[in-house]
Chain A
Amino acid sequence: MKRLEGTKELYIEHVPGLSDEQMSLHVTRHLPRRLAAGNVIMLHDRPAVFLAVIRKRWMHVIREIERERASTLDRQKRLQLEREIAHMKAYRFSTKPSEVERVEALILEPYEVLGSGLRCLSLYVTIPMRDEQLEALTLHVMEPGLLMIYEK
C-alpha cells in the first residue's frame, strides 16, 4: 500500500493474484474494517451477481465471528465480538446509486461512479480498469481514504 502524494490523505493498495473466490473472501473480510470508518463503494461489472456473492460470504463471516464468540470465556472479548456481529448485521448494501443516503455500501458499475457526484471513504475496484480511470476514481474518495485495487 502507498500513500498518494500531495495534500490528500489517500492510500492505494494493490492486491494481486487472487482468484474470484479468494477476491470475494478478501473483500468480505476487509470490508467491515472500512465500513466502521465510513461508506464504501465497490466496482464490479455485474453488481447484482457480486452483491449475491458478498451477501453469502457476509453471512459466513458472521458465523465465523459467532463461533469465535462461542469459543471464548473471556467476557470482554465476548462483548467485543457481540458488538462486531451487531455492526455487521446492521450494514446495508445496494446496487442502486439512488440509495446512497440509505445504505453504507454500494456495488456499482464503473460508469455509474466516474463523473458522478458520488463520494465514499473506501473504493474497492474488483475489475480491471485503465490507469487514467483509476486516477479519475481518486476524486471520488474522501479522506482518510482507501482505493483498493484487485489485480488478476
Chain B
Amino acid sequence: MTAISVLEGAVDRATVPCIICQSTIPLRVATAGSLHADGRQAFACRAHIKERSTWIIGWAHFEADQEELRDFVQLSEGYY
C-alpha cells in the first residue's frame, strides 16, 4: 500500500447525495463540485461529467439556488 492510499483509508463506505440526479451514491463514484450555501461540500455522480448538457444545467441550477439561499439568509439577518 502506498503512502497516499494509506492516507485515504483502505475502506470508505460514505455515501453522498448527487445534486444533479438526487440519488444517494457512494463517495467513490462521486466528484466534489461547488459548495452549498452553508459551506458544505456538494457532490455529483462522476458519470454526469460525460453528459455535457446534464452537467452544465445541473450545476448551473444548483449554484443559482445556493446563491439565492445565501442572499435570503443575508437579507433575513439584516432584517432581524
Q: Which residues of A contact B (CB under 8 A)?
A: 1-5, 9, 11-13, 26, 29-30, 32-34, 36-37, 64-65, 68, 77, 79-81, 83-84, 131-132, 134-135, 138, 144, 146
Contact = CB atoms under 8 A, between A and B. Distances in A.
Contact of A64 (B7, B41, B56, B59): B56
A64 B14 CA distance: 34
B27 A80 contact: no
Contacts, number: 96
Contacts of B31: 1, 13, 30
B64 interface: yes
Interface string B26-48: 01111111110001110000100
A5 B56 CA distance: 31
A12 B8 contact: yes
B77 interface: no
B64 A80 contact: yes
Contact of B56 (A1, A13, A83, A84): A84
B34 A64 contact: no
B4 to A, nearest CB: 5
Contact of A33 (B3, B12, B59): B59
Contacts of B35: 36-37, 144
Given A13-B32, A135-B3, A1 B61 contact: no
A80 B41 CA distance: 20
Contacts of A146: 32
B78 to A, nearest CB: 23
Contact of B3 (A5, A32, A77, A132): A132
Contacts of B52: 29, 64
Of all A-B residue pairs in the complex, the 4 with the closest CB atoms, nearest first, are A33-B33, A36-B34, A144-B41, A80-B64
